[in-house]
Chains A and B, each alone.
Chain A
Amino acid sequence: MEEKKRLSILTNGIIKENPVLVLVIGTCPTLATSGSVETGFGMGLAATAVLICSNIVISALHNIIPDKVRIPCFITVIAGFVTIVQMVLQAFVPSLYSALGLYLPLIVVNCIILGRAEMFASKNGVLDSALDGIGMGIGFTLTLVIMGTLREVFGNGTWLAGDWFGLAKGFKGIPIFSNFIPGMSIMTMVPGGFFVYAIVMASVHYLTKDKSKIRNDFGCDGCANAGACADGDCAAQKQ
């Protein structure tokens, strides 16, 4: 039973509670770094590393952190890990460091990390929180890779282009359309990001037949305007 629960914590983040597609948090970095597979994958890995570390530390400390200062404490821990990741990348993987640029320090304010600290790590044990971090990280990375694939293939006509952290310097990518038609560069820009985001999100909801958890929990009571809803229409619609 215990093991089954652990497995579900790990797999929840991938589809059922996917941070980007179902919980709809961490949208900014998703739109910003999913322009190509390489940057999306790099961002996913960096965020996952920070997420696992911060989840572990926060769940270990949750008993001694007073409720009043929990958010500043979480942010300090997260910012510390992000800066460590930043320094390590700058020293050992400079190509990824320059590819992620501004988005790397912005992991500090990535909703997924603070959200999981608040929603999960501060209420659960160390092992469960680590598994949650891994699951959520996989879900985030997977979404970025899928979106990056769509945006790169349609926007650039290639797939997997990039330095790949210095392993394949100057790799131009596998040509998909680039030999026949020029890429639609709007796909690699922000509007294309929104477009692809919507398509991927809709597909996931369609494929999972709307069984994603948030959808089930969200009813009239979950709506912020439920109290102010005119003539109880809300309750009537619910039925």
Chain B
Amino acid sequence: MTKNDNFKEYGMPVVVLVAICFVTTLLLALTNSVSYPIIVRNAEITATENRKELLPEADGFTKVEGIEYCTSSDAKASVTDVYKADNDTGYVMTCVTKSFGGDLTMMVGLDANGAITGVKVTDHSDTPGVGTKDQDPEYLAQYIEKTSLGAEDVKKESGFNFITGASVSGTAIHKGVYAALAQYAQIGGAN
């Protein structure tokens, strides 16, 4: 086998594959540079809309800085940001919690008295259908007006209709709400 044949046999495939990967990466980087700022802006707009929906009385929101974020006892759920209503009507907190299919992002609204005004799941990777039943507004409405929860595990919570067969997602959400309430207590209410 000559040197030229060797190159054709073993060198060429490598060169072509590397070249194709390089061009693809270049195109991806180019697309990302255009789409990324728009995606971030969209996410910010949606987050503000969600905060407004959970705390309709608020006129605007400011991020609360310099606080320590609460996590659940098994570290599966944690508060990732806290926004305070500009007119002191309450807080909206974002929590990330481990659910069946991976991270689940949710928002919890709390009024000035520490009562929950709403819970909303904003991002998840759970199986559509039974796994997302815990994200229905009707289900999440059970949290409204609660000021405290009895247990971190949704199954141990008294007087609560959790979804049988989807208790992983239900517990994940429950832990998120629990962490949000703990966070509220930690920052000492809406004063």
Q: How far is the CA of A87 from the CA of B12 in the complex (A)?
A: 32
Q: How far is the CA of A66 from the CA of B128 in the complex (A)?
A: 42
Of B31-39, B50-58, B112-120, the stretch lying at the interface with chain A is B31-39
- Chain A hits for B147, CB < 8 A: none
- Chain B hits for A23, CB < 8 A: none
Q: Is A4 an interface residue (CB 8 A)?
A: no
Q: How far is the CA of A183 from the CA of B112 in the complex (A)?
A: 42
Given contacts A77-B24, A80-B24, A189-B129, contact A66 B13 (CB under 8 A): yes
Contact of B27 among A72, A84, A189 (CB under 8 A): A84
Pairwise interchain contact B20-A77, C-beta atoms closer than 8 A: yes
Chain B: minimal CB distance from A107 (Å): 15
Pairwise interchain contact A64-B16, C-beta atoms closer than 8 A: yes
- Chain B hits for A92, CB < 8 A: 35, 38
Pairwise interchain contact A73-B17, C-beta atoms closer than 8 A: yes
Q: Is B125 an interface residue (CB 8 A)?
A: yes
Q: Is A91 an interface residue (CB 8 A)?
A: yes
Interface size for B (C-beta < 8 A) is 22
Number of CB contacts from chain A to chain B under 8 A: 56
Pairwise interchain contact A91-B42, C-beta atoms closer than 8 A: yes
Q: How far is the CA of A86 from the CA of B60 in the complex (A)?
A: 32
Q: Is B28 an interface residue (CB 8 A)?
A: yes
- Chain A hits for B36, CB < 8 A: 87, 91
Q: Is B64 an interface residue (CB 8 A)?
A: no
- Chain A hits for B13, CB < 8 A: 66, 68-69
Chain A: minimal CB distance from B76 (Å): 22
Q: Is A83 an interface residue (CB 8 A)?
A: yes
Partner-B contacts on A (CB < 8 A): 61, 64-66, 68-69, 72-73, 76-77, 79-80, 83-84, 87-88, 90-92, 94, 101-102, 189
Partner-A contacts on B (CB < 8 A): 12-14, 16-17, 20-21, 24, 27-28, 31-32, 34-36, 38-39, 42, 46, 125, 128-129
| Beyond A73-B20, A80-B28, A189-B129, 5 extra complex contacts between A and B, CB < 8 Å | A69-B13, A73-B16, A76-B21, A87-B32, A94-B46
